């Protein structure tokens, strides 16, 4: 039997009208001789009664901090509620369904609450349902530890649930339904001219996700890639075909698209803070270098865009860790500058590999818009620029235009 995983994001199940549309997607899969396994996120967005952020704020309102273990317990409820409501919707249309929590679906994780890693999947209960012609409705974003504690997989974790189940049951394809028509050349919330792409390669979408495009979780891409399961990202609200994500070989024919561009997409990630650590040439400078990076690592602060010069070390961190790092550096008497409110904007594209002049074009695009570049970093297939967050919209639109990624080109 051909198996398909269909994952529905928060907005796709936000109200009854939308849940009825989910039924159409399930029905369509069945008509095409697929047996569906459905994965669901919590209903709606912050402010909606059962959305994840609403639940977190409810616990916060008591005025004390929720422990990580209990926070995961609380957050896992959103998906369970969503599953039961969707299950009823499908049952009303005559389908037999069974709701499974992440743990019941066999998703076993470590105990890193809030961002747990899946250790293994024991899909027997899912397979049991399938054998008995019952559609499993699985709560996304959650798992269980070996000793029975409920965990969550981090923001966007329902995508991970979908991929990891797809891998465990050997699904033909994993469909990710969301509130946009597919993977676009930039975040449509920032770039009105952004265009839906028909196909993207795993490595490109992985980079997009890593560099901030939250349309899919990077780990979900990684899992699909290692087991070579195609991912199809599409809208729950329209009939559009969406974006197919496969590997290079399988979709070779797409390489000959005459519209191929040097750059595939632009992504951005905000809430970055830049640190510049200056050295005065004192005799123990090498030792100080060593100590600096060891302290940062010991505090579990991840650093990025690292530029090292004899007299200066520059890097960025997630602003959430900013005050922690400032107090460490002060306590060790380092001489440093901090630039808060930064955004890392990245252009991504397999085709820029080895092509000269791409950086020149980036800088040209940004300077034409009078945007100061604070720092850059690059790889074979990406170029990132750090800018002030207040310039994000102008910068992303300028680069999108410069590389002719839009619908109007
Ligand atoms: P869901 O709840 O369905 O998982 P998300 O909010 O996690 O939805 O992801 C969908 C959102 O991702 C879109 O509304 C869009 O604003 C954002 N997004 C960011 N970058 C991109 C991109 N390159 N293509 C499509 N959507 C993007
Ligand atoms: Mg998401």
242 lines ligand 1 (CB under 6 A): no
Closest ligand 1 atom to 184 CA: 24
User: What pLDDT is recorded for position 254?
Assistant: 47
Tally Cβ neighbours within 10 Å of residue 152: 28
| Cα of 2 from ligand 1 centre, angstroms | 28
User: What pLDDT is recorded for position 354?
Assistant: 79
Classified as helix, coil or strand, 164 is helix
Tally Cβ neighbours within 10 Å of residue 170: 10
Q: State both tokens at 188.
A: 């449509």
User: What pLDDT is recorded for position 256?
Assistant: 43
Between β-strands 118-121 and 107-109, what pairing exists: parallel, antiparallel or unpaired? antiparallel
Helix boundaries (H) for 138-239: 157-168, 202-210, 218-226
183 lines ligand 1 (CB under 6 A): yes
User: What pLDDT is recorded for position 251?
Assistant: 47
Between β-strands 97-100 and 135-139, what pairing exists: parallel, antiparallel or unpaired? parallel
Q: Which of 8, 178, 205, 405 to mutate to test the pocket of ligand 1 (most atoms within 8 A of CB)?
A: 178
What is the b/e burial string over 186-218, where b = at least 16 CB atoms within 10 angstroms of the residue's CB? bbbebbebbbbbebbbbbbbbbbbbbbbebbbb
Distance (Å, rounded) from C-alpha 87 to C-alpha 182?
Answer: 25
The pTM score is 0.93
Strand ordering across the sheet containing 118-121: 118-121, 107-109, 142-145, 150-152
265 lines ligand 1 (CB under 6 A): yes
Q: Which residues contact 321 (CB under 8 A, 6 or more apart)?
A: 299, 301
189 lines ligand 1 (CB under 6 A): yes
Ligand with the closest atom to the CA of 8:
1
40 lines ligand 1 (CB under 6 A): no
Q: Take atom 21 of ligand 1 and give the residue whose Cα is closest.
A: 187
| Cα of 156 from ligand 2 centre, angstroms | 4
10 lines ligand 1 (CB under 6 A): yes
Per CATH, the homologous superfamily of domain 265-402 is VC0802-like (3.30.2130.10)
Q: State both tokens at 280.
A: 């005065």
User: What pLDDT is recorded for position 378?
Assistant: 93
Which residues are near ligand 2, the ion (C-beta closer than 5 Å)? 156
Mean pLDDT of successive 10-residue stretches along the chain, which has 409 residues? 96 94 96 97 87 90 94 96 97 97 98 97 98 98 98 96 98 97 97 95 94 96 96 94 82 51 93 92 75 90 92 94 95 93 95 86 96 95 97 98 86
Torsion of CA 116, 118, 122, 127, to 10 degrees: 100
156 lines ligand 1 (CB under 6 A): yes
Closest ligand 1 atom to 208 CA: 23
Domain locations along the chain: 2-179, 265-402
- Kindly write down the DSSP assignment for every residue of 19-80, as one continuous string: HHHHHHHHHHHHHTTEEEEEEEPPSSSBTBTTSHHHHHHHHHTTSSPPPHHHHHHHHHHHHH
Ligand with the closest atom to the CA of 45:
1
* CATH level 2 (architecture), domain 2-179: 3-Layer(aba) Sandwich (3.40)
DSSP state at residue 198: S
CB contact at 8 A, 79 and 156: no
Torsion of CA 251, 257, 259, 262, to 10 degrees: 50
User: What pLDDT is recorded for position 139?
Assistant: 98
């Amino acid at each position: 039997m051909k198996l398909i995983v269909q994952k529905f994001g928060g907005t796709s199940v936000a109200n009854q009208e939308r849940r009825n549309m989910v039924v159409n997607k399930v029905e369509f899969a069945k008509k095409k001789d697929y047996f569906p396994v459905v994965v669901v996120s919590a209903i709606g967005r912050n402010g909606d009664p059962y959305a994840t952020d609403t639940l977190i704020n409810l616990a916060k309102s008591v005025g004390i901090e929720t422990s990580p273990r209990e926070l995961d317990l609380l957050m896992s409820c959103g998906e369970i509620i969503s599953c039961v409501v969707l299950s009823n919707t499908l049952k009303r249309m005559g389908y037999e369904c069974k709701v499974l929590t992440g743990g019941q679906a066999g998703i076993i994780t470590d105990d890193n609450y809030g961002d747990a890693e899946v250790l293994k999947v024991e899909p027997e209960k899912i397979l049991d349902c399938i054998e008995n012609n019952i559609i499993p409705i699985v709560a996304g974003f959650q798992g269980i530890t070996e000793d029975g504690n409920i965990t969550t997989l981090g923001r966007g974790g329902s995508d991970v649930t979908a991929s990891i189940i797809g891998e465990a049951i050997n699904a033909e394809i994993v469909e990710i339904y969301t509130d946009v028509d597919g993977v676009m050349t930039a975040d449509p919330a920032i770039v009105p001219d952004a265009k839906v792409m028909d196909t993207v390669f795993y490595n490109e979408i992985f980079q997009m996700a890593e560099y901030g495009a939250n349309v899919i979780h990077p780990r979900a891409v990684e899992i699909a890639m290692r087991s070579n399961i195609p991912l199809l990202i599409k809208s729950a609200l329209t009939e559009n075909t969406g974006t197919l994500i496969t590997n290079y070989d399988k979709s070779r024919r797409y390489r000959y698209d005459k519209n191929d561009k040097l750059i595939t997409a632009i992504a951005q990630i905000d809430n970055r803070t830049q640190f510049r650590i200056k050295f005065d040439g004192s005799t123990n400078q090498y030792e100080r270098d060593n100590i600096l990076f060891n302290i940062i690592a010991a505090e579990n602060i991840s650093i990025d865009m690292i530029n090292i010069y004899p007299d200066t070390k520059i890097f960025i961190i997630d602003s959430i860790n900013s005050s922690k790092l400032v107090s460490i550096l002060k306590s060790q008497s380092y001489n440093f500058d901090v630039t808060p409110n930064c955004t890392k904007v990245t252009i991504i594209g397999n085709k820029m590999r080895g092509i000269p002049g791409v950086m020149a074009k980036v800088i040209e695009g940004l300077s034409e818009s009078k945007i100061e570049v604070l720092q850059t970093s690059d790889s074979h297939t990406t170029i990132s620029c750090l800018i002030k967050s207040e310039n994000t919209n102008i910068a992303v639109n300028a680069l999108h235009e410069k590389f002719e990624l839009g619908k109007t080109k």
